[in-house]
């Protein structure tokens, strides 16, 4: 991304009227040669981890080596997350749109010579059709992309997020220009109401209704009013808000400016998790560039409207994403939920009317204003309009960022888009909403993924993490994992959460050792209900969801633990026994050598045996055996 290198393609000039944006956009597009080759290297988190920076360097070196014509000189562009994280590093070649996965530095020269200079594909690096094995050339041909509806993500992976002219060329700020040119603030609110947009931060509260209540609060209490972005994203498994802020910071900023215009706010805050330094840097650059262009600050687009925003780094706690804890944190106090029954639209930041929305919610606003609330409402299903971005993780082939219309059946996301569980078996369950969400079994695979259908099934949308589980994942273990996470994250203010999370986890710990009875399952359920009803904030209030839904849908698996002392998934250490299949064992002795307690014995070239009493159940032997002779009984 642009660092010390040259100025943006277009020298900044201040936009003095809403109409100037369109003029600028046309100029940017005209100045660009659509046939100029471009090498686009994904720099999303997945690809960064799999070595994208080295790949980008290798392309620069390869270009220098080939001594390509200076006039034709292709650019090497780095973008935010292109979505197919498990297949990174990803590289696309324009103008053809060739899509390459798992690109290594050594591939750079071949790609430059074949694709960039001769326009030909390098088929060995292309995504293969899962059925026929045929190479698929472009995003449009790959089911992972073609079955999605990428609206919020439309610019991510295409634009250089550090260059505002790239974003403007792709339509950024057009919604803002339109609203400032021809709509009153009241009309903006009405458009958001019409869209049916519901908050993407977890609870699904209708955004238009929230803005309307803020207007009533302003009527009573006057201004200032604040607009705030919730970018705390602490859910394990969730990275969509980070990807949006990193890959297209302007979409969030434009949404926030529109919200400020609608409500008459002059100051906004972006509360971003401190663990997201790239998101923070890109937002800072986006804000600085927007100010230069007259899109932020005084006299926005020459209309006299004035608004500015600043970034607050999150204090690094999951609970700081809760609205009242987030406000106390911005106010400079420890981020604990406030024990009060007042709505934050009335009494939010510094006791003032405040609209807090999630990153993805804000990023939807420019779409609503640009193309109209009615258009937006036609996407998705009646009570859950628009699209939703998910982080598809766990036991699926295509791990990554996925955006689909609300109401898309779960199986379409997991199997058709996600490529299903490796090995082609059906998935066991899907956990949505992370530690506050629920776990739905394969038998509910046709459940439409929207706010109300998930809630009806006992789960919840949550922020958008979607964890796919297969037969090797244990539901008791899942519950323990999330409860342990929340025990660390609880603020400790209220008693049900401070004491109850640990007590619930201890009961599950017992199950994982085969201790307990049906009565304990009943106790666990009623304790879980007490937490739901009694906790002060939604952290404790939603913490029981994974346990309650797994008891509902996987009761047999709980019973297997407590009654038969078996863990069917083979996960709970106390309930599994490692054994060696004498037919398969060659007596190579690798397992015996690696066992930390030396409990594997046997003569050379003869079948070995494991002493179950001494075995630690660490699984090292199973990992070392080259002949797949060790199994879990």
Partner 1 sequence: MNEITFTINDQAVKARRGWTVLETARECGIHIPTLCHHPAVTPSGACRLCMVELRDGDWAKLVASCIYPAAEGIHVYTDTARVKNVRNWIFQMLLAAAPASREIAELAARHGVTGTRFAAKDPDEMCMVCGLCQRVCEEVVGLSAIAVVDRGVHKRVGAPFMQPTDVCVACGCCVNICPTGAMRKLFDSVRGETATKLTQLAV
Ligand X SMILES: Cc1cc2nc3c(=O)[nH]c(=O)nc-3n(C[C@H](O)[C@H](O)[C@H](O)COP(=O)(O)O)c2cc1C
The residues binding ligand X (CB under 6 A) are 199-203, 205, 230, 232-234, 318-319, 321-323, 356-358, 361, 463, 537-539
b/e code 392-410 from CB counts within 10 Å (16+ = b): bbbbbbbbbbbbbbbbbbb
SS3 at position 419: coil
Burial 297-320 (b: 16+ CB within 10 A, else e): eeebbeeebebbbebbebbebbbb
Q: How many CB atoms lie within 10 A of CB 416?
A: 15
And the tokens for 15? 């936009």
Question: Which option in ligand X, partner 1, ligand SF4, none does residue 487 bind, with CB closer than 5 to 8 A by kind?
Answer: partner 1
Point out which span in 15-23, 187-195, 523-531, 584-592 binds partner 1 (CB under 8 A).
Answer: 523-531
Phi, psi angles (nearest 5°) of residue 404: -135, 160
Nearer to ligand SF4, 90 or 539 (CB): 539
- Residue 193 binding partner per list ligand X, ligand SF4, partner 1, none, with a CB distance cut-off of 5 to 8 Å that depends on partner kind: none
Which of ligand SF4, partner 1, ligand X, none interacts with 340 (beta carbon under 5 to 8 A by kind)? partner 1
Task: Using the minimum distance from each CB to partner 1, give the nearer residue, 123 or 487.
Answer: 487
Q: How far is the CB of 206 from partner 1 (least distance, A)?
A: 18
- Measured CA to CA in angstroms, residue 413 lies from 304, 311, 409 at distances of 45, 34, 7
Nearer to partner 1, 104 or 517 (CB): 517
- # residues near partner 1 by CB under 8 A: 31
Q: Tell me whether strands 384-385 and 354-358 are parallel, antiparallel or unpaired.
A: unpaired
If one asks whether residue 220 binds partner 1 (CB under 8 A), the answer comes out as no
CB-CB contact of 9 with 28 (8 Å):
yes
Q: How far apart are CA 139 and CA 142, in angstroms?
A: 5
Give me the 338-377 binding string for partner 1, x by CB under 8 A, dash otherwise.
-xxx------------------------------------
Residue in the shown chain whose Cβ atom is closest to ligand SF4 = 540
Helix (H) or strand (E) holding 305: strand 305-313
For the bound state, the minimum distance from the C-beta of residue 353 to partner 1, rounded and expressed in Å, comes to 19
In whole angstroms, the minimum distance from the beta carbon of 111 to ligand SF4 comes to: 50
Residues 129-148 that bind partner 1 (CB under 8 A): none
Give me the least distance between CB of 322 and ligand SF4, in Å please. 7
d(CA 313, CA 113): 44
Q: How many CB atoms lie within 10 A of CB 506?
A: 11
Concatenating the DSSP letter of every residue in 19-52 gives HHHHHHHHHHHHTS-TTS-EEEEE-SHHHHHTTH
Span near partner 1 by CB under 8 A; candidates 45-53, 260-268, 334-342, 441-449: 334-342
487 is a contact residue toward partner 1 (CB under 8 A): yes
The full length of the chain comes to 633
Q: How far is the CB of 272 from ligand X (least distance, A)?
A: 10
Strand partners, 305: 300
Residue 361: contacted member of ligand X, partner 1, ligand SF4, none (CB under 5 to 8 Å, by partner type): ligand X
Binding site for ligand SF4 (CB under 6 A): 319, 337, 490-494, 497-498, 535-537, 539-540
Binding site for partner 1 (CB under 8 A): 317, 339-341, 487-496, 498-503, 506, 523, 526-527, 529-531, 533-536
């Amino acid at each position: 991304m642009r660092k010390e290198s040259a100025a943006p393609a277009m020298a900044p000039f201040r936009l003095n009227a809403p109409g100037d944006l369109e003029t600028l956009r046309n100029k940017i597009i005209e100045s660009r040669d659509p046939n100029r080759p471009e090498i686009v290297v994904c720099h999303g988190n997945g690809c960064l981890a799999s070595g994208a920076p080295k790949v980008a360097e290798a392309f620069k070196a390869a270009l220098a080596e080939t001594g390509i014509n200076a006039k034709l000189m292709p650019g090497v562009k780095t973008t935010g997350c292109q979505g197919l994280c498990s297949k990174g590093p990803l590289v696309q070649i324009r103008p053809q749109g060739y899509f390459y996965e798992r690109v290594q530095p050594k591939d750079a020269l071949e790609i430059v010579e074949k694709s960039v200079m001769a326009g030909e594909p390098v088929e060995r690096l292309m995504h293969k059709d899962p059925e026929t094995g045929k190479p698929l050339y472009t995003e449009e041909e790959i089911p992972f992309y073609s079955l999605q509806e990428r609206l919020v993500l439309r610019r991510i992976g295409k634009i250089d997020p550090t260059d505002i002219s790239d974003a403007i060329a792709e339509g950024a700020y057009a919604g803002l220009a339109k609203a400032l040119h021809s709509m009153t603030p009241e009309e903006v609110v009405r458009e958001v109401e019409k869209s049916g947009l519901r908050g993407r931060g977890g609870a699904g509260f209708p955004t238009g209704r929230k803005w309307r209540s803020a207007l009533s609060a302003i009527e009573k209490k006057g201004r200032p009013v604040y607009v705030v972005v919730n970018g705390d994203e602490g859910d394990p498994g969730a990275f969509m808000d980070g990807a949006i802020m990193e890959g297209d910071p302007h979409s969030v900023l434009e949404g926030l400016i529109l919200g400020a215009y609608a409500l008459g706010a002059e100051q906004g805050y972006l509360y971003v998790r401190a663990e997201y330094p790239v998101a923070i840097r890109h937002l800072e650059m986006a804000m600085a560039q927007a100010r230069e262009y007259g899109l932020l600050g005084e006299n926005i687009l020459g209309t006299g409207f004035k608004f500015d925003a600043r970034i607050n780094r999150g204090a690094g706690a999951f609970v700081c994403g809760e609205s009242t804890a987030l406000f106390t944190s911005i106010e400079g106090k420890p981020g604990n939920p406030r024990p009060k029954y007042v709505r934050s639209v009335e009494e939010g930041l510094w006791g003032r009317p405040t609209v807090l929305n999630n990153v993805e919610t804000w990023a939807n606003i420019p779409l609503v204003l640009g193309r109209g609330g009615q258009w937006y409402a036609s996407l998705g299903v009646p009570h859950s309009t628009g699209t939703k971005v998910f982080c598809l993780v766990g036991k699926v082939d295509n791990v990554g960022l996925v955006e689909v219309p609300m109401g898309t059946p779960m199986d379409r996301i997991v199997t058709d888009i996600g490529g299903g569980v490796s090995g082609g078996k059906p998935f066991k369950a899907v956990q949505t909403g992370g530690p506050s969400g629920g776990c739905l079994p394969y038998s509910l695979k046709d459940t439409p993924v929207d706010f109300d259908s998930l809630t009806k099934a006992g789960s919840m949308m949550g922020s958008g993490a979607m964890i796919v589980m297969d037969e090797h994942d244990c539901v008791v273990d899942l519950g323990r994992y999330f409860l342990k996470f929340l025990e660390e994250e609880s603020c400790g203010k209220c008693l049900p959460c401070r004491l109850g999370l640990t007590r619930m986890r201890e009961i599950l710990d017992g199950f994982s050792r085969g201790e307990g009875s049906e009565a304990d399952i009943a106790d666990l359920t009623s304790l879980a209900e007490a937490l739901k009803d009694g906790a002060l904030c939604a952290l404790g209030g939603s913490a029981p969801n994974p346990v309650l839904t797994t008891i509902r849908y996987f009761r047999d698996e709980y019973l297997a633990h407590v009654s038969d002392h078996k863990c069917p998934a083979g996960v709970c250490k106390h309930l599994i026994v490692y054994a060696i299949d004498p037919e398969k064992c060659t007596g190579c002795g690798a397992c015996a050598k690696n066992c930390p307690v030396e409990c594997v014995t046997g003569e050379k070239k003869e079948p070995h045996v494991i002493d179950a009493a001494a075995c630690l159940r660490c699984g090292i032997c199973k990992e070392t055996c080259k002949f797949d002779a060790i199994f879990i009984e």
